[in-house]
């Protein structure tokens, strides 16, 4: 079949980023409906939304997995990449931001810019993703488009430019004014908003519409020197010029074109889609993909370049049970059956099936082109974040940043059969998501799963049961503490065993130093004159790295540390690799305990939102939990308290806050940083770990 290449300037790969409950699922549903792929509108509360095809998501009403769905809007091809709203799933947000070219930042017209929206905005800025804004739920009582514009300025430091204005708000919300055409748009409810009629702008809104149109034109002029001159010369700018300039500013991220409507009441979504096509970047605007280790190595978004792409999502096909890898193609052509190189792990891979995902159906393809987002079967070893490329033209793109897990639970299979299946299931889940970590605790024979949040781990356990048919008992959630040292020390250890026959001998001197937070562990060899032969140095490093996995204080991983081996000795006959590994481990442990070690705990950015009369109770609940109140704010007629609270104190907080606020308080939390645990609490944690057999008491 001859390849038919879709014009790249008519491709939009975009996602919707929103606070949970903002209306992302409803808006995605309406997009599928208006673009004609879906005929029935599935309401979220019925659990029929097409994007959320995983069962748990439907039950919880939140979008967890990022599925890419392809729709046509006029002569544009849109790939909608689903991003989750819940912060526990930040890795999902990161991975989708990495591969999309533009995004819709969606806000609730009442709730406005909420804490999670701030975090996602920051993440999207990190990946330089151009955005347009959509203020949803204009039909709700208290909806205020202009207040959200102000919040975008003050809280996100954004420069929103309204492209439409709402007609009415709350119960009186009846349509929108398009500031380009200067027409009022009304939606016919008999066709669920599919029929849009253009009318004159209501007389009482005309002045406001003119004022905002003028602001829009000024913003456009600011994006382009030639337009600016024309504007100051008093010449009229054409609407084509204005749209082009707004597009330029949007792609340069100096402005955020803003739209509004009500997805639920079927108003304004078509104009949002027009906005996606008009203002968000195409793969051509997004530019070349750049090698992670050599900036001069690039792949332009063109079919004439060698193939390269990024695997950004792995999931299990709900139908076949097979593994599906979502790939964003940056350059060249990806062909069915062709030999590919996974350059991240340096393995050849081959694709046996290739397709484009529509909401409910898969469209088989023979090849995919630059700018495409496709699903592949056959990439058995490829992990999330890996680069795929033409083996004759290797390149490795920057991988996706994934945060370390902050919370863990022990899972215990209920039967022997469950035990056998557990390993396979956990391996498959870990391939899908690099923030999900599985370990086996030798001391207690427990399997420990760790992730970014409590809800996240609940979802994993649920998937074990449903998708893999593995039933598990789950322990209480545990905080992922860390250990570190606060002083530089030198440590010497001799490992000598003489038990008849051949003995064991190793002698190691290590210098241990604290490192800045976040820096990877560093091992340095400064041994002079071969006092430890070079062949044993890797064994020393191996021993130290092993010791880092389970810290001497309480058996938690050691972070922010550097180790230098600078002296030692060996024995011609009795020294071997094993002896040096054991010796280095002991040497590290002994030194670490002398280096004023500290236990670190994950601290969370918490925001509690309550009606004013519950401020005292909410503040009290934070103080009780060793929290620091960092500030207070107004949020949609409620009070918000921002605080930093240790994760370990936050278990069960949703019940607690409901109880003290008669069910009216809510909260959100996001991992912030690791901080030292106060000494008295550290003592309790360490004693508990000793009792559980996770660490041996130190000889202090």
User: Quick check: 142 binds ligand GDP (CB under 6 A)?
Assistant: no
Stretch that binds ligand GDP, among 72-80, 137-145, 296-304, 348-356 (CB under 6 A): 137-145
CB 569 within 8 A of CB 473: no
Site for ligand GDP in 57-116 (CB under 6 A): 61-63, 85
| Neighbouring C-beta atoms of residue 658, cutoff 10 Å | 14
Size of the site for ligand GDP (CB under 6 A): 22
Distance CA 603, CA 644 (A): 6
Q: Which is nearer to ligand GDP, 165 or 217 (CB)?
A: 165
Distance CA 326, CA 399 (A): 15
User: Quick check: 165 binds ligand GDP (CB under 6 A)?
Assistant: no
Q: Which is nearer to ligand GDP, 137 or 299 (CB)?
A: 137
Q: Which is nearer to ligand GDP, 28 or 575 (CB)?
A: 28
Stretch that binds ligand GDP, among 93-101, 132-140, 181-189, 371-379 (CB under 6 A): 132-140
* Tokens representing residue 399 in the block: 């991988």
**Least gap, CB of 644 to ligand GDP (angstroms):** 26
User: Quick check: 592 binds ligand GDP (CB under 6 A)?
Assistant: no
| Neighbouring C-beta atoms of residue 237, cutoff 10 Å | 17
**Least gap, CB of 32 to ligand GDP (angstroms):** 13
Helix (H, G, I), strand (E, B) or coil at 172: helix
Q: Between helices 24-34 and 269-279, what is the axis angle to 10°?
A: 80
**Least gap, CB of 618 to ligand GDP (angstroms):** 24
Q: Which is nearer to ligand GDP, 60 or 545 (CB)?
A: 60
User: Quick check: 33 binds ligand GDP (CB under 6 A)?
Assistant: no
The DSSP symbol for 617 reads H
Pick from 452, 501, 499: nearest CA to 479:
452
User: Quick check: 152 binds ligand GDP (CB under 6 A)?
Assistant: no
User: Quick check: 244 binds ligand GDP (CB under 6 A)?
Assistant: no
List beta partners, residue 411: 447, 474
List beta partners, residue 601: 675
> Site for ligand GDP (CB under 6 A): which residue of 15, 22, 130, 275?
22
Pairing of strands 11-18, 628-635: unpaired
What's 27-79 look like in SS3? HHHHHHHHCCCCCCCCCHHHCCCCCCCCHHHHHHCCCCCCCEEEEEECCEEEE
Stretch that binds ligand GDP, among 13-21, 277-285, 516-524, 678-686 (CB under 6 A): 13-21
Site for ligand GDP in 518-577 (CB under 6 A): none
CA 190 to chain centre: 39
Stretch that binds ligand GDP, among 16-24, 230-238, 484-492, 521-529 (CB under 6 A): 16-24
The DSSP symbol for 268 reads S
Q: Which is nearer to ligand GDP, 140 or 689 (CB)?
A: 140
Strand order in the sheet with 362-364: 347-350, 339-342, 387-389, 308-316, 323-331, 373-377, 353-357, 362-364
> Site for ligand GDP (CB under 6 A): which residue of 12, 131, 140, 213?
140
> Site for ligand GDP (CB under 6 A): which residue of 11, 14, 17, 26?
26
Buried residues in 387-401 as b, exposed as e (16+ CB within 10 A): bbbbeeeebbbebbe
**Least gap, CB of 694 to ligand GDP (angstroms):** 38
Binding mask 258-297 vs ligand GDP (x if CB under 6 A, - otherwise)? ----xxxx--------------------------------
User: Quick check: 310 binds ligand GDP (CB under 6 A)?
Assistant: no
User: Quick check: 137 binds ligand GDP (CB under 6 A)?
Assistant: yes
Distance CA 308, CA 299 (A): 8
**Secondary element (H or E) of residue 676:** strand 666-676
Q: Which is nearer to ligand GDP, 176 or 615 (CB)?
A: 176
Site for ligand GDP in 665-684 (CB under 6 A): none
Pairing of strands 76-82, 11-18: parallel
Distance CA 212, CA 208 (A): 6
Distance CA 180, CA 219 (A): 13
Stretch that binds ligand GDP, among 55-63, 93-101, 302-310, 555-563 (CB under 6 A): 55-63
Helix (H, G, I), strand (E, B) or coil at 134: strand
> Site for ligand GDP (CB under 6 A): which residue of 13, 14, 17, 24?
24
Q: Which is nearer to ligand GDP, 88 or 139 (CB)?
A: 139
> Site for ligand GDP (CB under 6 A): which residue of 35, 79, 83, 136?
136
Q: Which is nearer to ligand GDP, 133 or 431 (CB)?
A: 133
CB 259 within 8 A of CB 148: no
Stretch that binds ligand GDP, among 19-27, 324-332, 406-414, 611-619 (CB under 6 A): 19-27
Pick from 312, 294, 447: nearest CA to 373:
312
Q: What are phi and psi of 7, to 5 degrees?
A: -60, 125
Distance CA 301, CA 285 (A): 9
CB 438 within 8 A of CB 430: yes
Q: What Rg value do the Cα atoms of the chain yield, rounded?
A: 29
Q: Which is nearer to ligand GDP, 261 or 597 (CB)?
A: 261
Q: Which is nearer to ligand GDP, 118 or 441 (CB)?
A: 118
**Least gap, CB of 370 to ligand GDP (angstroms):** 31
**Least gap, CB of 275 to ligand GDP (angstroms):** 17
Stretch that binds ligand GDP, among 15-23, 151-159, 282-290, 538-546 (CB under 6 A): 15-23
Q: What are phi and psi of 602, to 5 degrees?
A: -70, 130
Pick from 24, 1, 12: nearest CA to 86:
24
Helix (H, G, I), strand (E, B) or coil at 343: coil
Q: What is the DSSP string of 186-200?
A: EEEGGGTT-EEEEEP
> Site for ligand GDP (CB under 6 A): which residue of 12, 17, 23, 282?
23
Stretch that binds ligand GDP, among 14-22, 67-75, 280-288, 654-662 (CB under 6 A): 14-22
**Least gap, CB of 164 to ligand GDP (angstroms):** 15
> Site for ligand GDP (CB under 6 A): which residue of 13, 14, 17, 25?
25
**Least gap, CB of 638 to ligand GDP (angstroms):** 17
Which parts of this chain interact with ligand GDP (CB under 6 A)? 18, 20-26, 44-45, 61-63, 85, 136-137, 139-140, 262-265
């Amino acid at each position: 079949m001859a390849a038919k290449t879709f014009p790249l300037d008519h491709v939009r790969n975009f996602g919707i980023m929103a606070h949970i409950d903002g209306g992302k699922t409803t808006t995605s549903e309406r997009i599928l409906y208006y673009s004609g792929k879906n005929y029935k509108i599935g309401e979220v509360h019925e659990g029929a939304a097409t994007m959320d095809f995983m069962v748990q998501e439907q039950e919880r009403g939140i979008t967890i997995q990022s599925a890419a769905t392809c729709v046509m809007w006029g002569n544009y091809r849109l790939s909608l990449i689903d991003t989750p709203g819940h912060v526990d799933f930040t890795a999902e947000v990161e991975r989708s931001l990495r591969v999309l070219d533009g995004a819709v930042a969606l806000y609730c017209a009442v709730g406005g810019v909420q804490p999670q929206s701030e975090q996602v905005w920051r993440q999207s800025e990190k990946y330089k993703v151009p955005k347009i804004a959509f203020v949803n739920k204009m039909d709700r009582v208290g909806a205020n488009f202009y207040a959200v514009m102000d919040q975008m300025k003050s809280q996100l430091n954004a420069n929103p430019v309204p492209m439409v204005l709402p007609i009415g708000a709350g119960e009186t919300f009846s349509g929108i004014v398009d500031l380009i055409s200067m027409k009022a748009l009304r939606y016919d409810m008999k066709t669920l908003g599919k029929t849009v009629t253009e009318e004159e702008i209501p007389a009482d809104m005309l002045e406001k519409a003119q004022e905002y149109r003028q602001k829009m034109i000024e913003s456009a002029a600011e994006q382009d020197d030639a337009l600016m001159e024309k504007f100051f010369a008093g010449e009229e700018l054409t609407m084509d010029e204005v749209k082009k300039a707004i597009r330029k500013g949007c792609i340069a991220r100096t402005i955020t074109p803003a739209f509004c409507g009500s997805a639920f009441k079927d108003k304004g979504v078509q104009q949002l889609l027009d906005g996606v096509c008009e203002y968000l970047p195409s793969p051509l605007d997004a530019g070349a993909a750049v090698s992670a280790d050599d900036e001069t190595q690039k792949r332009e978004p063109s079919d004439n370049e060698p193939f390269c792409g990024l695997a950004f999502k792995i999931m299990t096909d709900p139908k076949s049970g097979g593994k599906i890898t979502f790939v964003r193609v940056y350059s060249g052509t990806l062909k069915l059956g062709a030999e590919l190189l996974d350059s991240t792990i340096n393995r050849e891979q081959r694709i046996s099936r290739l397709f484009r995902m529509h909401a409910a159906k898969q469209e088989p393809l023979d090849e995919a082109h630059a700018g495409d987002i496709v699903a592949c079967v056959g990439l058995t070893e490829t992990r999330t974040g890996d680069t795929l490329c033409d083996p004759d033209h290797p390149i490795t793109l920057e991988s996706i940043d994934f945060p370390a897990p902050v919370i863990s639970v022990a899972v215990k299979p209920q039967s022997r059969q469950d035990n056998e299946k557990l390993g396979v299931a956990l391996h498959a889940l870990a391939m899908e998501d690099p923030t999900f970590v599985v370990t086996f605790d030798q001391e207690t024979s427990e399997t420990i799963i760790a992730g970014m949040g409590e809800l996240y781990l609940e979802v994993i356990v649920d998937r074990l049961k449903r998708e893999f048919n593995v039933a598990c008992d789950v322990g209480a959630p545990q905080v992922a503490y860390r250990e570190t040292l606060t002083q530089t020390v030198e440590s010497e250890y001799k490992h000598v065993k003489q038990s008849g026959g051949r003995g064991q001998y190793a002698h190691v001197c290590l210098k241990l130093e604290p490192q800045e937070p976040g820096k990877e562990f560093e091992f340095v060899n400064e041994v002079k004159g071969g006092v430890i032969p070079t062949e044993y140095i890797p064994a020393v490093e191996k021993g130290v790295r092993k010791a880092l996995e389970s810290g001497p204080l309480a058996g938690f991983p050691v972070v922010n540390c550097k180790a230098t081996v600078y002296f030692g000795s060996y024995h011609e006959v009795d020294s071997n690799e094993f002896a040096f590994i054991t010796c280095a481990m002991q040497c590290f442990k002994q030194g670490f305990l002398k280096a004023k070690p500290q236990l670190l705990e994950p601290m969370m950015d918490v925001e509690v939102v309550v009606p004013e009369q519950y401020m005292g109770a909410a503040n009290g609940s934070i103080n009780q939990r060793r929290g620091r109140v960092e500030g207070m704010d107004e949020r949609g007629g409620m009070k918000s308290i921002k605080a930093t609270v240790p994760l370990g104190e936050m278990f069960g907080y949703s019940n607690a806050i409901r109880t003290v606020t008669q069910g009216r308080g809510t909260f959100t939390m996001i991992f912030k940083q690791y901080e030292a645990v106060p000494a008295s609490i550290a003592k309790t944690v360490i004693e508990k770990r000793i009792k559980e057999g996770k660490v041996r008491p130190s000889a202090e």
